[in-house]
A and B are shown apart, each in its own frame.
Chain A
Amino acid sequence: MARLIVEVALKALAGGLFVLGFAVLAEMMTPKRLAGVFSAGPSVALGSLLVTAVLSGQADMRAAADGMRAGAVAFFVYCLVAPPLLSAWGVWRATLAGLVVWAVTAAGAYLLLPRP
């Protein structure tokens, strides 16, 4: 149990640090559209996959990346719907509605994407 808690804590720490790194880069970038590219960077993935590979092995890392494909496709759809929703509804309602779109798309993609 203690090992599992440590694993989750290490993933949280690594993910947080990578996100911070990408956020710092995005803050310094201009124009804002370029900064947006870094907001969809592989920050959480890099930290989490690294810890997974070290603690659980490459088979788990591969499985996690396999699932990530579905999340990434859903993220793409989220980014397509977010700008018009932002214009129509404002930032809070738009981002929350976008999350619902992400969840539905990710579930569908997870079930439909072929496994390598």
Chain B
Amino acid sequence: MDDDTNDDTNDDTNDDTNDDDPDSRGQDDDRMRLIPRELARTRPWDLVVRFAFGAGVSALAGVVSLVAGPALGGVFLAFPAILLASLTLVAQREGPRQAYQEARGSVFGTLGLTGFAVVTTVMAARWPVWVTLVAAAATWVVFGLGSYLVSRVIARRVGG
């Protein structure tokens, strides 16, 4: 954890060059943590890029829905542009190894995303919108984060 703070002072200047940094960010420290001060390391531009990717994909899905119908537009609701933006930014800032780890973790999120779509399809005709979306979001949490946690347990048991 202490390692996380060491490069706070030079994050803007060395981000593109210090491929050693990922190793200093915890040597694959596997503890699950929410560290609000990590947000201070994030460049505002990175957040702008993510917002732009999200808005762009949503607009694309909206235009396809208008032109070809909501079902075809819906395909783009699971377009991997956000991950693409995240991977390129992480690779640039923290090195390819961290991007690789993030890509591996995203597999679990897509399991939740599939559950989200199925639950929404099944519930949308019968339940109010808010109930449907809350249930779908809960499904994402259970499947996405749940499968991630199960994978950690399995990895630890296999690793001894």
Docked-complex contact A69 and B88, CB < 8 angstroms: no
Q: Are A95 and B74 in contact (CB under 8 A)?
A: no
Query: In the docked arrangement, what's the CA distance between A82 and B64, Å?
Result: 26
Are A116 and B122 touching (Cβ within 8 A)? yes
| Chain B residues whose C-beta falls within 8 Å of the C-beta of A22 in the assembled complex | 82
Flag if B99 contacts A91 (CB, 8 Å). yes
Question: Does A63 count as interface, using CB distance less than 8 angstroms?
Answer: yes
Instruction: Give CA–CA (A45, B65) in the complex, Å.
Output: 13
Task: Scan residues 20-37 of chain B and give those whose CB is less than 8 A from a CB of chain A.
Answer: 25-26, 28-36
If over half of A's interface residues share one DSSP class (helix, strand or loop), that class is named, otherwise mixed; here it is helix
Contact-residue size bin, chain B (C-beta under 8 Å from the other chain): 35 or more
- A43 engages B54 (CB within 8 Å): yes
A–B complex contacts, Cβ < 8 Å, 25 sampled: A8-B66, A14-B58, A16-B54, A16-B55, A19-B50, A28-B39, A29-B34, A30-B25, A31-B101, A32-B105, A40-B113, A42-B113, A42-B137, A42-B140, A61-B124, A64-B74, A65-B74, A67-B71, A67-B75, A68-B77, A68-B78, A74-B78, A76-B111, A82-B103, A98-B80
| B residues with CB within 8 A of A | 25-26, 28-36, 38-39, 41-42, 47, 50-59, 61-63, 65-66, 69-80, 82-84, 86-88, 90-91, 94, 96, 98-114, 116-118, 120-122, 124-125, 129, 132-133, 136-137, 140, 144-145, 148
Write the residues of chain A forming the contact surface with B, with a CB cutoff of 8 angstroms: 4, 7-9, 11-20, 22-24, 26-50, 52-54, 56, 58-76, 78-80, 82-83, 86-87, 90-92, 95, 98-99, 102, 106, 110, 116
